Structure 1
Amino acid sequence: MNVRPERDFNVDELLDLYASVGWTSYTGSPDVLTKAIANSSFVVAARDQGGTLIGLARGLSDDASVFYLQDIIVRPEHQRHGIGRQLLTACLERYRHVRQKVLLTDDDESQRLFYESFGYVRTVDFEDAPLNAYVRFDS
């Protein structure tokens, strides 16, 4: 398996990866997905020995004060093999100089434990200063 920054993706391989984890908000709008990937600050891909895309992480950053992890995806049949950990490590290493690293994720125990293992803290549990997180989704 190979994990490295990447920019050039075939739209079909992206759609196949996102569909494998049920992210239909992306697969229903291929143009939006390809634009989102192209406009991301950093994209790292995991490919198997045959070159098949099996994972991807992408984020947005001002490269000074904040990094926002937008997507981290690993095909279900490849999950629990350290690929997600390698993808997130690559992102955090790229933005190691940035103080604030933010993400939104599902309210799922395994995801919480995964991100906490990297030092992430839910805003409700952050003790250094009171924090709230807000999100707005427009249709």
Structure 2
Amino acid sequence: MTINFINSKNVNREQVEKLYNDVEWYAYTQDLGVLQHAMEQSLEVISAWNGEELVGLIRIVGDGLTIIYIQDILVLNAYQNQGIATQLMQQVLKKYKNVRQKVLLTEESPDVRHFYEKNDFQSCDKGSLVAFAKLN
């Protein structure tokens, strides 16, 4: 299987909906217009493709100079644990290597923690950082 990566904010709407629903991120697909607009307003969107099938995506927001925020990183369940998310993450970390703050917010679970620590992220519950969020 060859996975191709495309850097474009213009991703097929139906395939985006399928991807987000597959990983049960239903809050995003309640209003596909908002999701599409959010992707257009993002700093960068990199998608992963197996032929014509969208299998993964990473979405970055921020200024690209002092901070980036990894807003979304997701891979179809059938393609997880094959290194696709790692490849998406590594592309972003390489491109933005000189950006001091690389931030993300995610749910707690051992596999999630392992993935981000493997990619050199440090949890804010360790060390000198503190994180705050206000979610609606």
Q: Please indicate the TM-score interval, normalised by the length of the shorter structure.
A: over 0.9
After superposition, residues 7-86 of structure 1 pair within 5 angstroms as: 7-48=9-50, 50-86=51-87
Aligned length, in residue pairs: 134
TM-score w.r.t. the length of structure 2 is 0.95
1:10–1:4 distance in 2 versus 1, CA, 3 Å: closer
CA RMSD of aligned residues (A): 0.9
Which runs of structure 1 show a deviation greater than 3 angstroms over 4 or more consecutive aligned residues? none
Q: Is 1:72–1:84's contact at 8 Å kept on the other side of the alignment?
A: yes
1:7-48 deviation line (CA, Å, top 9, x unaligned): 211211110110000000011111111011111101100000
**What does the per-residue CA deviation read over 1:38-92, in whole Å, with 9 as the maximum and x for residues that have no partner?**
11101100000x2210000011121211110000000000000000000111111
Q: Retained in 2: the 8 A contact 1:42–1:91?
A: no
Q: Distance in 2 between matches of 1:72 and 1:135?
A: 19
Contiguous gaps of at least 5 residues in structure 1: none
- TM-score normalized with structure 1 length: 0.93
Q: Give unmatched runs, 5+ long, in structure 2.
A: none
Q: Percent identity?
A: 34
2:120 counterpart of 1:122: no
Contact 1:46 / 1:53 at 8 angstroms: preserved in 2?
yes
Partner in structure 2 of residue 89 of structure 1 = 90
Corresponding residue number in structure 1 for 2:133: 135
State the distance in 1 between where 2:59 and 2:98 align.
Answer: 17
Q: One-letter code of the match for 2:6?
A: R
**Contact 1:64–1:98 (8 Å) recurs in 2:** yes
Give the whole-Å Cα distance in 2 for the aligned partners of 1:51 and 1:84: 18
